[in-house]
Amino acid sequence: MAQSHSQLVQTSFARPRFEIIPMKGVEEQLAHLPSDAVVTVTSSPTKGIDATLALAALLRRRDQRQVVPHVAARSVADTGHLKDLLQQLSDLGIDDVFAVAGDAEAPAGQFESTLDLLRAMADLGHSLRIGITGYPESHAFIPDDTTIAVMHAKEPYASYIVSQICFDPQVTAEWIAAVRARGTRLPIHIGLPGAVDLARLVRISMRVGIGDSLRFVRKQGGTVARLIGGYQPDALVDGLLPTLADPAMGVAGWHLFTFNEIRRSEAWRRDLLARYARSET
């Protein structure tokens, strides 16, 4: 029996993925994380992977929650550095990572792309689950044909896909259908922006190189200007529920980009759950 939209929301947001950034002030926000949230920690070109692992270690020490650090290929110096990173992850009890190329202008060493990193990890041997990125909208710097080909190349090394932020549910739905039509079967977590202050979104995007979010703000300036009080992704969730309900689309859930607005993003999640619960009565 098919689930109702209310049941889909309740199920898919029951154990959310919250993405946070290792920046000043984030520790004061950690108390607002839901107890069962999976927390992903980004890696920026300015702070490097050490800051990512330090915050991941803090989260593990606090409550042993599931943490998914980002490992940026362009921040890894060489195979020896990668081997050390894998050992640190093992020591922390981390069994899931998110592999990205990274936004550094020049690679720190021999790994320029995510695929380079994934192949080296496989050669070293590991038992990690690995997430990779998908792009519903065109990548700012990489042609669509290239992102499609690279996804095929990365698929054998990966466990799941997380889509980058896209503010048009139809575009995301069509992209997921196209991914399936090309034969890729990895589970997909749909990327959502959290309930964030837009000025903060722009400021953080500029500081840590979150290009897609900043690109959206540039393109949607008129719409953004009217969103006084901040953005909330209700319309995105509503518009994507038919895709979530279709088993053939293989949607595993949601990935919330909080931009460190953890308290506001969690309050939004709870309000969404309450709204859909009321719709059932």
**Average pLDDT value for residue range 17-30:** 94
Segment 128-166, tens digit of pLDDT: 999 999 988 755 555 556 667 788 899 999 999 999 888
Per-residue pLDDT at 83 exceeds 60: yes
Tell whether domain 5-279 is in CATH 3.40.50.300: no
Q: 94: closest CA among 58, 66, 124, 130? A: 66
Phi, psi of 13, rounded to the nearest 5 degrees: -100, 10
pLDDT, mean of residues 230-247? 89
Residue 228 has a pLDDT of 43
23-27, 108-112, 148-152, 197-201: which range is least confident on average? 197-201
Name the region of 213 (left: φ>0; alpha: ψ -120 to 50; beta: rest).
alpha
Lowest mean pLDDT, pick from 64-78, 117-131, 182-196, 220-234: 220-234
What pLDDT score does 193 carry? 86
- To which H or E segment does residue 153 belong? helix 144-154
pTM of the model: 0.89
What is the Rg, in whole angstroms, of the alpha carbon atoms belonging to the chain? Answer: 18
Q: What is the DSSP string of 206-271?
A: HHHT-HHHHHHHHHTHHHHHH-TT-B--HHHHHHHHHHHH-GGG-EEEEEEE-TT-HHHHHHHHHH
AA letter at 177: A
Q: What is the per-residue pLDDT for 232?
A: 78
- Could you state, in order of their start, the residue ranges of all structural domains in the chain? 5-279
Residue 214 binned pLDDT confidence (cut-offs 50, 70, 90): low
What angle (nearest 5°) sits at the alpha carbon of residue 69, between those of residues 22 and 202? Answer: 40
Query: What's the confidence (pLDDT) of residue 119?
Result: 97
Do 137 and 163 touch, CB atoms closer than 8 A?
Answer: no
131 near 161, Cβ under 8 Å? yes
SS3 123: helix
Identity of the amino acid at 140: A
Written as six digits, the tokens of 104 are 């550094």
pLDDT mean over 76-84: 96
Is the pLDDT score of 209 beyond 50? no
Examine the pLDDT at 65 and tell me if it is beyond 70. yes
| C-alpha 17: how far from chain center | 8
The arithmetic mean of pLDDT across residues 71-98, rounded, is 96
